[in-house]
Amino acid sequence: MIEGEMAMSYKIISLDIDGTLTNSQKVITEKTRDQLIDFQENGGKVILASGRPVYGILPHAETLKLKEYGGYILAFNGGCVIDCKTGNILFQQKFPLELLPEICEIIKEYPVGINTYEGENIIVGNNVNKYTELEARINGMGIKYIDDFTGYVKFDINKCLLQGEPEDIMKLEKILSEKYKGRLGVFKSEAFFLEIVPEGIDKALSIDRLLGMIGINTEECIACGDGFNDISMIRYAGLGVAMSNAKEPVKQAADFVTLSNDEDGIAHLLKKIRLNQINRAVVYSHS
């Protein structure tokens, strides 16, 4: 097999951003960028699949030239899918706003923030804490605190995010997932972030929908991540990859574990694929 042939047996790579594509400084290194540009120049497509809002993903899409090469943004854990070449929204699912007042009533006894997104700002209710500020820094967005969160949020949104101490987030995950089973998706992306999305939204389902639209098979897809919200797409893809900095359940879901995000793990992966050096049973396999 010639060099490069193996890489092009995979036609698309789906990448989580924080803890995967970017290093601890939230930067795509030159080494990782060059490998992903090379992948695209050889016919591959890139999906940026993140819990971030679109605004927080766009700078990384620009760094990787997704508009030029025809890549995709999968924002809000799959709640909104955008074709970077055309700027068209291929799919989105709106959050059921009628549930917001009840959610806000449940969380008011906890020192957590609830936020959604509007333009360049994070709209926050209930509480602003250090994790709210972290979310704003990660996405390069401002914070707009609203006393009457449910009264203000009358526009279409794709998700809400709760931020707080891990023990509070754990309690609320249990309460909200039980209460809204079958109506909302409730899951942690970090120990201090609780995602609340429309039912049926996750990265794997949205990637599957996208691949169907563009005529690429599951087995031709690579998916890479480090967080709990990446497990579904890692299990779904033809080659599911966890970062070495990933949580243990994420590694257990993967076919292959690459180097950490601070060791250019994505560049390392693509190089090994190009050289046909990936043994998918080396570290972990699907259960």
Q: What is the pLDDT of residues 127-142, one digit of tens each?
A: 999 999 999 999 999 9
What's the confidence (pLDDT) of residue 277?
72
Q: Do the domains spanning 7-92+201-274 and 97-198 agree at the CATH topology level?
A: no
Domain ranges, ordered by start, for the chain: 7-92+201-274, 97-198
Class of domain 97-198: alpha beta
Question: Which pLDDT band, with edges at 50, 70 and 90, does 287 fall under?
Answer: very low
Residue 285, pLDDT above cutoff 70: no
Share of the chain above pLDDT 70, in %: 94
Q: Could you name the CATH architecture of 7-92+201-274?
A: 3-Layer(aba) Sandwich (3.40)
**Closest to 12 (Cα-Cα) out of 31, 51, 40, 38:** 40
Residue 274, pLDDT above cutoff 50: yes
Q: What is the C-alpha separation between 195 and 109, in angstroms, rounded? A: 19
Give the mean pLDDT of the chain.
92
What's the confidence (pLDDT) of residue 2?
28
Instruction: Provide mean pLDDT across the span 68-74.
Output: 98
What's the confidence (pLDDT) of residue 189?
87
Cβ neighbors of 190 (< 8 A, separation 6 or more) are 227
What's the confidence (pLDDT) of residue 154?
96
What's the confidence (pLDDT) of residue 110?
96
What's the confidence (pLDDT) of residue 4?
40
What's the confidence (pLDDT) of residue 6?
42
What's the confidence (pLDDT) of residue 42?
94
Instruction: Provide mean pLDDT across the span 184-196.
Output: 93
Residue 286, pLDDT above cutoff 50: no
Residue 282, pLDDT above cutoff 90: no
Q: What is the C-alpha separation between 149 and 132, in angstroms, rounded? A: 15
Amino acid identity of residue 262, one-letter, is D
**Residue ranges of E strands in the chain:** 12-15, 45-49, 72-75, 80-83, 89-92, 113-118, 121-125, 142-145, 160-163, 184-190, 193-198, 221-225, 239-243, 256-258
Instruction: Provide mean pLDDT across the span 24-39.
Output: 97
